[in-house]
Chain A
Amino acid sequence: MKLFLFFLLFSVASAPFYLSAQQRFAISGTVRDASTGETLIGATVKLQSPSQNTGIATNAYGFYSLTSAEGEYSLVISYSGYQTNTQNITLNKALKFNIELKAVSDLQEVVISAAERKNENVKSPQMGLNKIDMKDLDNVPVLLGEKDVLKTIQLLPGVKAGGEGNTGFFVRGGAADQNLILLDEATVYNSSHLLGFFSTFNADAIKDVSLYKGGMPSQYGGRLSSVLDVKMQDGNDKEYGVEGGLGLIASRIKAEGPIVKNKSSFMFSARRTYIDLLLKASGDSALKNNTLNFYDINAKVNYKFDDKNTLFLSGYFGQDNIGIKDLFANDWGNTTATVRLNHVFNNRLFSNTSLIFNKYSYAIQLLDEKSSAEVKSLIRDFNFKEDLQYYSSNHILRFGLHATHHRIAPSDITTSANSSFNPLSIENRYGLEFAAYVSDEWTISDKFNILYGLRLSQFSLLGPGTINTYNGSGEVSSSSTYKSGEFVKNYFNLEPRFSASYSLSEKNSIKASYNRNTQNIHILTNSSTSSPTDQYVMSSNNIKPEIADQVALGFFKNSESNTFEFSAEVYYKWLQNQIDYKDAAELTANKDVESELLYGQGRAYGLELYGKKSKGKLTGWLSYTLSKTERQFDKINNGKYFNAKQDRTHDLALVAMYNLSRRWSLSANYIYSTGNAVTYPAGKYNVGGLTTYYYTERNANRMPYTSRLDIGATLKAKETKKFKSSWTFSVYNALNRKNPYAIQFRDKENDPTRTEAVQISLFGIIPSVTYNFKF
């Protein structure tokens, strides 16, 4: 802590010394796409002169600010996929410079390839960061042709898929609930549709996806493993456009355009599946009455009052419905709403203020007459965020506040009078999270950059409510009743964050990082698949905040004018206050659910290799992860460390895209992964008239490995000035390999004196076709 304050004081105090040497001025502005007006995130802006060379990447709103000594410069603005823009400027006063970049057309791509691409991945002290190019998303073949952000990030090193066709993911040995998933800053608690086969992110509406696996900047907090920061498009503020797609199971449409030209725009995007419409069309009367669908809507508007003030409103609404007539209905979904105000105080100080609402809820109805009941559950947050960025000569200071009010309504059961079920309502729980953070990205020299910061996080469990404390055997040891707004339990944590990069040459660097993260919202689920009925609990008298410490070391290299990108990272992570469950734990609608929990620790370590080719006819990437993740609980596995479910030794993903001609492009991806850690029986016996299995060690066995090839092709139809269209063909699991989903043990059918192991596989070969259009 002391060391940190010293650092900060020193670095800020040193700024005036630079200033005293020569008069210095700042140049600032916003970088946008010339045809749509969309701000460009992470574009490189460089100020070059024979004696000086400074550069910066635009922030999440396309804003940049550079400070340099008085003089003549060329201002070079570049962004992957866009024509580099160079301007000669005279810096003799504070300057405002908004730039619009033109996208590279297919024809120009070859010509432009000699131009300097950004070298940010090598230079920046940030490590453990992966970005997804939204253009790649159009090409990577996926299940049933539904392009999907979450399935694409599973092809990155250090990210493991939750299961076949599942959007759940595990980052660097962490659990699925340890990922912070943000959509325009709003937390998305459950990111899956249709029991996890599709994600809540409609790719059409998305502009930027960043995944932080380590070296988390201090503006992010609240989860242990990763931050997936998804940003929606703002909408074209120059002209109207409509695009959409017709797929096998879903269709989508997007409309955007100016409300006031160059000042204000809107974007609206919607998607719906129609499996159930097909069911309805079928002649089978019983099938007709079943429900199986999801839909989601993304909408955003913005208004630029002037150069200094921009207001954004964005929202998401998604819902799943499944049901069987007269028997059962289940619906669930997320709602988010974000209001943001960008304010540029001066050409060095940028501010963003956000008010955010997010909610996840589900309802289950049992429709059978004698056992009718409805179960409802929800988690709801209100957030306030203030984030400030101050740009000085060699520093980007970032500081801010984040306050969140949580409400969890665990279960409300209502029933009809003649139902066999009784009504039951579990008390709501309230919590307040507060965080303050500061960080400094300091360019110490041409070679040496550091990003260091501190996040103070405070969590309070609030009344009203009757709060129990449980002893080791799960009995109530004390119980107190609290009034509304009363503080029940407070936790305070300091989270230091540090990363540094040292350039060995222009194209090579080494980086190191350390970060501590804490988490106060926990999912209770004893299933490894994503379930719409996941329960959320907050830290409490019984549940302590989860804590993770991670160190990482990496080597980064770009070559051949940044055509090739390569990185190697190693990490080690310590996890504290992890949660597991007692035998036959009753997690649903249980007011004493905290008595069913066990607490332990974990460790995870690994090596990640990543190679990417981003220019030329053939593009793609190769990622490989060698890793281990383990847990330890006193009451599980005799207190010894055991493999976490998601522990897989090897994970390999190869993604390749090939531009065959102007009309055809081909793509393929291949994945290989070691099987999940599972528990197989070591012995068997007979009780209650049934073969019963005897287990010795938890998760000491392995499922068979997974290997899958998906291929795809895109055909661009002849386009007119006004209308463009394309066909995307894909084949999921092209080799039709039966990959393991689960292994079960049972008595042999023909020889009941023997037992056998049965592998269950989900998807064989699945072809699909999607038609996309734009006008």
Chain B
Amino acid sequence: MLKKIKYLSLLIAVSFSISSCEKVIDVKLNTSANQLVIEGNITNQLGQQTIKISQSVPYTETNTYPVVKGAIVNVTDDKGSSWIFTESAPGSYTFGQLKGEPGRTYTLKVNVNNTLYTASSTMPDSVVIDSLDVKVFAFGSEKQKQTQVHYKDPAGVANQYRFVLKVNGNQSKRVYAENDRFTDGNDVPTVLFYAGKNDDDNELKTGDNVDVEMQCIDKNLFTYWNTLSQQTQGSPGGITPGNPPSNISGNALGYFSAHTVSKKQMVVK
């Protein structure tokens, strides 16, 4: 709800500013040494589970991130099971067929050049997408179409969600995270405002293929994604950006998330 309010307030503020404009500028930046980045996901979908290890690059470089090879990666759960992940592609560590189970806590251990990084995440109970539809907003004469996800939030428990939106295969550049602080136990319609490759590419058009993945995530991951979400929404004059709080020990960037997955597709009419 609050995000919706913020988004709408921003929209009004921007439409009010008669001649707001953008230009690309040169900026003076700090540079930093490459940092270790771990991105680990365990899902409730039977299949290959992947832990990716890479490095950050200075801002001025191209978006090609060096992979980290030769790490020792294993995952354990709170029932005593253990899985050793193997490097199936450079920097990509996988375990063949594995299905995470809700309620179980998974612990990741990564050893890179004798430095140990650990993280734990508990997979929440699964909540699935009931349906997708198109929500039409009328701002003045312009009608804007956006994706709306419907789901039923379970009552009495705290739930956190993350959504991944793809339109015609292109992932939206916005991070979507929400919890049930205001919606516990209800049928929830959530609008995912699309952010494409530029400012003109921020709505759905007839014929677009929309893919939505809904994840149920634990509280730490919600803080992680929500921090990123507040920054990527990039309201001018907004919050001071910072690194999202990682659940990985040892100053690595990234996250380790045990989450459930529910997917749906639609074609925009």
Contact = CB atoms under 8 A, between A and B. Distances in A.
Interface of A: 163, 165, 194-195, 197, 284, 286-287, 290, 292, 322, 324-328, 330, 364, 366, 370-371, 373, 413, 419-422, 424, 526-529, 531, 533, 583-584, 586, 588-590, 636, 645, 678-702, 704, 738, 741-747, 749, 752-764, 766
Interface in B113-147: 137-142
A759 B183 contact: no
A586 to B, nearest CB: 7
Contact of A371 (B1, B37, B245): B1
Interface in B187-203: 187-189, 197-198
Contacts of B25: 704, 743, 757-759
Contacts of A680: 27, 29-30, 59
Given A324-B12, A694-B253, A761 B20 contact: yes
27 contacts: A195-B16, A324-B12, A330-B9, A373-B182, A420-B186, A420-B188, A528-B238, A584-B223, A584-B226, A584-B230, A588-B2, A589-B181, A680-B59, A683-B34, A689-B171, A694-B32, A694-B243, A697-B30, A741-B236, A744-B236, A747-B173, A752-B197, A753-B62, A757-B24, A762-B17, A762-B19, A763-B17
A87 to B, nearest CB: 55
Nearest to B225: A688
A288 to B, nearest CB: 10
A527 B59 contact: no
Given A531-B9, A753-B63, A763-B19, 13 more contacts: A324-B8, A324-B12, A324-B138, A330-B9, A371-B189, A528-B238, A680-B27, A683-B31, A684-B56, A688-B39, A690-B232, A692-B228, A742-B237
A745 B25 CA distance: 10
A71 to B, nearest CB: 63
B154 interface: no
B182 A589 contact: yes
A511 B22 CA distance: 47
B77 interface: no
Contacts of B64: 753
Given A327-B137, A366-B1, A371-B1, A684 B236 contact: no
Contacts of A284: 140-141
The residue in A366, A373, A684, A764 that gathers the most chain B C-beta atoms within 10 A of its C-beta is A684
Contacts of A684: 56-57, 59, 61, 63
Contacts of A759: 22-25
A146 B206 CA distance: 44
A757 B164 contact: no
B65 interface: yes
A422 B183 contact: yes
Contacts of A685: 35, 37, 54-57, 65, 253-254
Contacts of A702: 28
A176 B262 CA distance: 45
B242 A766 contact: no
Interface string B193-224: 00001100000000000000000000000110
A395 to B, nearest CB: 48
A198 to B, nearest CB: 11
A683 B140 contact: no
B240 interface: yes
B89 interface: no
Contacts of A764: 19, 21
Interface string B45-66: 0000000001111110111110
Interface of B: 1-2, 4-5, 8-9, 12-13, 16-32, 34-35, 37, 39, 54-59, 61-65, 137-142, 164, 171, 173, 175, 181-189, 197-198, 222-223, 225-228, 230-232, 234-245, 253-255
Given A420-B188, A420-B189, A583 B245 contact: yes
The residue in B23, B234, B237 that gathers the most chain A C-beta atoms within 10 A of its C-beta is B237
Given A688-B175, A690-B173, A682 B62 contact: no
Given A366-B4, A422-B184, A746-B173, A695 B16 contact: no
Contacts of B17: 165, 762-763
**Which 4 interchain pairs have the tightest Cβ spacing?**
A742-B236, A685-B56, A529-B237, A682-B32
A752 B31 CA distance: 20
Contact of A696 (B26, B30, B183): B30
A420 B190 CA distance: 10
Contacts, number: 242
A163 B16 contact: no
The residue in A165, A701, A758 that gathers the most chain B C-beta atoms within 10 A of its C-beta is A758
A689 B23 CA distance: 26
A371 to B, nearest CB: 6
Contacts of B237: 163, 527-529, 741-742
B251 to A, nearest CB: 11
B34 A583 contact: no
The residue in B29, B62, B227 that gathers the most chain A C-beta atoms within 10 A of its C-beta is B29
B60 to A, nearest CB: 9
Nearest to A740: B25
A761 B34 CA distance: 33
B241 A679 contact: yes
Given A583-B227, A588-B2, A686-B65, A757 B26 contact: yes
Contacts of B238: 526-528, 742
Given A328-B8, A682-B32, A422 B27 contact: no
A404 to B, nearest CB: 30
A422 B23 contact: no
Contacts of B188: 420
Contact of B59 (A325, A681, A747, A749): A681
Contacts of B16: 194-195, 197, 292
Nearest to B137: A327
B238 to A, nearest CB: 6
Nearest to A642: B240
Contacts of A328: 5, 8
Nearest to B61: A684
B197 A698 contact: no
Contacts of B9: 195, 330, 531
The residue in A583, A702, A764 that gathers the most chain B C-beta atoms within 10 A of its C-beta is A583
Contacts of B235: 527
Contact of B244 (A533, A583, A682, A689): A583
A733 to B, nearest CB: 9
Nearest to B153: A420
A758 B244 CA distance: 22
B256 to A, nearest CB: 11
Given A420-B187, A526-B239, A694-B35, A364 B171 contact: no
A147 to B, nearest CB: 20
Contact of A422 (B34, B61, B185): B185
Contacts of B35: 683, 685, 694
Contact of B21 (A694, A738, A747, A753): A738
B20 A686 contact: no
Contacts of A682: 29-32, 58-59
B258 to A, nearest CB: 15
B129 to A, nearest CB: 15
